[in-house]
Each structure stands twice: as structure tokens, then as C-alpha cells.
Amino acid sequence: METKYISQGGLAQWFESIVASGKRVYAPVNSRGQVDFKLVKKLSEVADDYIQTTQSIKASVYPKAEVLFTYEKEHGKVNLTDFDPDTIPETVLWKVHPCDAAGFKPLSAIFNWDSADKLHNAHLVKTSVISFSCAKADESCFCTSVNGSPGNTAGSDVQLTVLPDGGAIAEILTPKGEALVALLPSVFEADRGDKKEQCLVDLPARFSLEEVNAKLNKAFNSTVWKEQSERCIGCGACAFVCPTCACFDIQEDVHGSKGRRIRCWDACGFALFTLHTSGHNPREHQSQRWRQRILHKFSYMPDRLSVVGCTGCGRCSRACPVDMNILEHITSIAKQ
Amino acid sequence: MKKLRDRAVALLDEGTVSLVIGYEEGTKRPRPLFCRNSETARKLIFDSRCFHNLAVYVTKKELVGKERFAVTAPISTLRSILQLYVENQLSEDKLLVLTVDTSGELREFVTFDEISAYVAQFEMKRGEREQEILAKIEGMTREERWKFWMAEMSHCFKCYACRSACPLCYCTKCVVEINRPQWINPWPSPLSNMEWHVNRAMHMVGRCTACGACGDACPVGIPIDLITRKMMEDLAPEFGYIPGQPAKQGNALSSWKLDDREQFIR
């Protein structure tokens, strides 16, 4: 790891050189009253004054719908065309928040749980992450309660901490980060000794993960799930904006003798998600589905995959039409 | 507001109802609250910020149970309750409706006729936001409108918050959940997104009471409530009903007449 200084002008030049290198660059853009990651060509397109993008960057490594393979029947034979990792273009994610970058680890833990997931891993290999540490937060943010922080570098290849002069502290964290810096090394100056901590938002932890985990281990039959989920209307907004939710569905798109097998986003909050062919649904009620959501993130994943399934980005709380506030719910479980 | 809270507390204490669905202060704005005892009911609030349509809960059997329950209802919720009643989803002996009228007085409705008479006083008007966007859309050519909606729908990721927030989307099995065969592809794509939204709109024709819950719930900010609102506005004169009030002679999509002036339906 190496720390450098980059001036405001240097940042603009570096951004231009990344775009010029032919890599796809995705960055937060403000349009239609929402800030979300979009393909950009110019730094001027990148949004400035916002706390969080509506959607996470999950789609860059786990697309909403992706073709696993295509097939065609011909004279009694089936020709398969497998997913080709070489079709994935080199991608740079610019201005990612640490809570989004931290989402890669839990996502990958799920996708590589039993066997290596070719598609997800192909995206990961081709993706470089330039994160920006957080100088601002809102009441939905709680990264510091889930092993994160406004300056957490996990999942980032380069992290920039913007300084009052418009320049930034550049932490070059991985070989991918070094390769990005190598596109225009001249703009990276010697570290001036700026203090990163002084540029970060102060966000005290709201609960202890160990405490929550211990409570959850005994909470399967608790009445808390029913109490908390009464107002939940069972949509998938929370899951779809989440950086770590990985529930998927496998679908066939068949046209005559040709077809595609598609993996697309699904949500454990949907009634259809666990419905068996027999008609039996092991998670028949919304309260059971809410329990699954919380236990999966805060109990099953830490226990089985050694990673917490929440990065504290707060998107689910912001997106929920009925104010199912995850921080409030987890805090109340911790206090029980 | 205090009168409404006191009444809710009394209804629970005297056992008239087993549940009061109302609003409490949330983390960002008021949110739904389910009161099964008077202690919880003391948290009830009711003011102009309470616009989440609580009628979405009144058809959920696992929530409301078998006993009589009450709901606190601003005007949008009252309209939905009436529509649900017309569609045989509610019965008077199970539901008590509380509201606070424009003069700040507590109103308690036992019959749907009372709600109907009360709702009739309020004209359905476009708000500033609706007027602004609809005026823009109404000024577009057909091709421009198609482009506008295709662009908006491209943001849809099929979380179905629009459906979940709608009091009139009470089907236990939605068209998108019918997967044998799979009528609508569940992954987001230009075609399947449009298929979903066209389906939703068609199922809402003549039923939507323009509460705006679907648009409010959409996490990606698609103004989908305006599709069903505009259809409501356009249909009202054709089918002789008053926007925001249930159609007296049946729903537009599920009724027909031998003397219909359109040839295709005869």
C-alpha cells in the first residue's frame, strides 16, 4: 500500500486518462432526482452533493439479469454456448462509497460458497474500484456498527479522501489500483502528510455485532419478527437496493428450438421465493421472510461464511415505503 | 388528533375492536402502526403527513384476524376502502373507520354509505407534482409519450413495490406470480418491464382511486401512479363515474353492455 497526494486538477486529468484507456467508467450521476451509477465519459457528469446512491454497485458484479448459457436444438442434438468471461469489458467504478466496496466480500462469499461462480468472478476480475471516503453521512448510515468505517478500504483498489483544497489523499491499495495509477503516474505526488481521519465523518457505532449475533442465536421463535414486520408490505425494494443481497432466480427464455438460461435478481421477501411445487411454502408469512432477511445477514452469514451480510449503507431503510428501518430494528434486537 | 387517539384507546379498552391500524411517528415520516392494546394506541398520530395508504392492510387476513378492527383513514384511504367494499373485499360488521375532518373533528364511520357521503364532499384534484408531469406528458405526441415511458420503465428492477403498496392489488396470486406458464418474464428487460406495467395499468382501469401509493413506493422514482391516475381521469366521463369514487355501474374492465357504442365489444 502506498499513499500519495493528487491535486484537484490532477484528479480531473487522471479521470480523463482512465476514460481514454477504453475502460468503461461508471460513476454516480444525478438524473430524474436520483443519484445512481451510470456510464460516464466526463468528470462533470459525476454527482457531487449527495449522501448515497439509490442503488448499490452490486449490479456491476451481479447483473440484474445475466445469460448463463444459450442453447439450440438441431436434428436431435443440443448445441450449448456457455458464458464467455472474455465478453466482460474492463470496468472502473468511480466514487464508490466504502460501504459499497465492502459489499463485494459478502457477495463473493455467497457466490463462491460451494463452487466458484464463473460469472460473478469474471466481473470481479474485470472490475476496479476507486472509492471515495465519506465526509458526510445521514441518519440511515451505520457502517461503523458492521465492521466498516467512513474510511474503510476493504474492497477498494484505490481510495481517495478529498481534502479542503479539492485535491485528495490517494491510497493505492492493490495491483489493480497500481495499474490505474500507472495510466497517469505524473499526477500522483508525494504524500503531504494530510490526516485522513480529519476528513471523515464522525459516525459512532450504534450496536455491537457480537451482541446482535448472540441475541439472534436464540431468537428464531421470538415474537419480535411478527412485531417488526407487521407493516412490511412484502416488496423487494430493500433487497434490490442492497449491496449484499444475492437471492436469485433461474429462468428459461425459450423461443422455439432456441433458448437462454437466465439468472436474475430475486428477493427472500417475496412470497413466491420459497414456494414449493407442492404448494407448501416454508416461509408462508411475511414475518418468516423478515426473519430470514435479518438472520441471513446477521447470523447465518457470519456463522457460515465468516462475513456479515450488511455493510451499513442504509439503502434499505431509505428505499422502504413503510419505514422498515434496519438500524432501528437491529438496535432494538440488540437491546432485548 | 388527541380525540382520535383517545377514541382508539377506548375502542381497544372496551373491546369494540381487537386492532387499530393507524400511524405513528417514524424515522423519516409517519409510518403504519398496528395497535392491539391501548398502550400501543397512545403512540397514534394523525396529521397531514400521514398519507401512506393504510387500506393496503385491511385485506390481509393474517394481519387483521377474524375480529372487528378499526383503521384511521385520511381521504385517500377512505376512497380505497370504498372501492374495496364495492369489490366485496370488506364488510361493515368487521370494519370501523376513523378520520379527522377538515375542521379537526373526529369522525367515526360504521357504514360504507356514511363514508361514501363523506368522500363525495371532496373533489379529486391533481396536486402540483401530478399537474406538472401530466401537463408535460399531455403535451407530447404519441411517439414522445412512448419514448418517455420506455425511458422511465427502463429504471424498473421489478421489486413490485408499486404492487405491494397498492390497496387494490389484493390478489393472493398476482399475474407475475403465475409461473406455470410464466406469463411475464420476471427479469427486468424493456419488454418484460412494459408487460408488467401495462398489466398493472389494465388491472387498475376504473378501479384506481389515485392515492399515489404506487408512485410513492417506487424506489427508483418512476411516476407510475400517473398512468393509472390519467386512466381514471380519462375513463370517468366515458363511463359516467366520479374520479376517486367507485363506479356505480361496475368496473370498466369487468363489465359490458349490449348497447355499447364501440363495435368491437358487441
Mean pLDDT of chain B: 93
Q: Has residue B256 got a pLDDT over 90?
A: no
C-alpha cell at B239: 363511463
CB nearest B159 (choices: A231, A235, A251): A235
Q: Is the Cβ of A231 closer than 8 Å to some Cβ of chain B?
A: yes
Domain count, chain A: 1
Q: Is the Cβ of A262 closer than 8 Å to some Cβ of chain B?
A: yes
| Tens digit of each residue's pLDDT, chain A (336 residues) | 899 999 999 999 999 999 999 999 999 999 999 999 999 999 999 999 999 999 999 999 999 999 999 999 999 999 999 999 999 999 999 999 999 999 999 999 999 999 999 999 999 999 999 999 999 999 999 999 999 999 999 999 999 999 999 999 999 999 999 999 999 999 999 999 999 999 999 999 999 999 999 999 999 999 999 999 999 999 999 999 999 999 999 999 999 999 999 999 999 999 999 999 899 999 999 999 999 999 999 999 999 999 999 999 999 999 999 999 999 999 999 887
| Closest B-chain CA to A253 | B185
Q: With the C-alpha atoms ordered A187, A188, A193, A196, is the resulting torsion angle positive or negative?
A: positive
Cβ contact, residue pair B220, A253, below 8 Å: no
Residue A111 identity: F
Which burial class, exposed, middle or buried, applies to A193 when counting CB atoms under 10 A from its CB (0-12, 13-18, 19+)? exposed
Q: What is the pLDDT of residue A231?
A: 97
Chain A positions in Cβ-Cβ contact with residue B27 (cut-off 8 Å): 139-140, 317, 323, 325, 328
| Closest A-chain CA to B214 | A321
Q: Has residue B248 got a pLDDT over 80?
A: no
Residue B153 identity: M
CB nearest B32 (choices: A33, A55, A322): A322
Q: State the DSSP string of A42-100.
A: -GGGS--S-S--SS-SGGGTS-SEEEEEEEEEETTEEEEEE--GGGSPPEEEEEE-HHH
C-alpha cell at B230: 390519467
Q: What is the pLDDT of residues B220-235, one digit of tens each?
A: 999 999 999 999 999 8
Q: What is the pLDDT of residue B245?
A: 86
Predicted TM-score of the model (pTM): 0.95
The answer to whether residues A106 and A93 touch, using CB atoms and an 8 Å cutoff, is: no
Q: Has residue B251 got a pLDDT over 80?
A: no
- Any idea of the CA torsion for B97, B101, B104, B105, to the nearest 10 degrees? -60
Q: Has residue B249 got a pLDDT over 80?
A: no
Q: What is the pLDDT of residue A306?
A: 96
Q: Has residue B40 got a pLDDT over 80?
A: yes
Tell me how close the Cα of B245 comes to any Cα of chain A, in angstroms: 25
Chain A positions in Cβ-Cβ contact with residue B28 (cut-off 8 Å): 323
Residue A168 identity: A
CA distances from B38 to A197, B12, B175 (A): 48, 6, 40
Q: What is the pLDDT of residue B238?
A: 83
Cβ contact, residue pair A65, B189, below 8 Å: yes
Cβ contact, residue pair B56, A233, below 8 Å: yes
Q: Is the Cβ of A71 closer than 8 Å to some Cβ of chain B?
A: no
Tell me how close the Cα of A65 comes to any Cα of chain B, in angstroms: 6
Cβ contact, residue pair A323, B165, below 8 Å: no
Which of the residue ranges A57-66, A204-213, B124-133, B249-258 would you say has the lowest mean pLDDT?
Answer: B249-258
Cβ contact, residue pair B188, A64, below 8 Å: yes
More confident residue, A97 or B179: A97
- Which of A322, A326, A330 to mutate to test binding with chain B, by most B CBs within 10 Å of its CB? A322
| Cα–Cα distance for residue pair A336/A330, rounded to 1 Å | 10
CA distances from B172 to A203, A292, B54 (A): 43, 21, 18
Identify the helix (H) or strand (E) that includes residue B39: helix B38-41
| Cα–Cα distance for residue pair B218/B208, rounded to 1 Å | 17
Cβ contact, residue pair B221, A319, below 8 Å: no
Whether the ω angle into residue B181 lies within 30 degrees of 0, i.e. cis, is yes
Tell me how close the Cα of A128 comes to any Cα of chain B, in angstroms: 24
Q: Is B24 helix (H, G, I), strand (E, B) or coil?
A: strand
CA distances from B84 to A254, B167, B168, B171 (A): 39, 8, 7, 12
What separation, in Å, do the N-terminal and C-terminal C-alpha atoms of chain B show?
A: 53
| Cα–Cα distance for residue pair B263/B266, rounded to 1 Å | 6
Cβ contact, residue pair A249, B186, below 8 Å: yes
Q: Residues, chain A, total?
A: 336
Domain boundaries, position A294: 2-335
Angle at A146 between CA A144 and CA A147, to 5 degrees: 75
Backbone angles phi, psi at A298, to 5 degrees: -105, -5
Q: Where are the beta strands (DSSP E) in chain B?
A: 19-24, 31-35, 69-72, 95-100, 106-109
Residue A66 identity: E
Angle between helices A118-126 and A104-111 (to 10 degrees): 150
Q: What is the pLDDT of residue A247?
A: 96
Q: With the C-alpha atoms ordered A161, A157, A64, B145, is the resulting torsion angle positive or negative?
A: positive
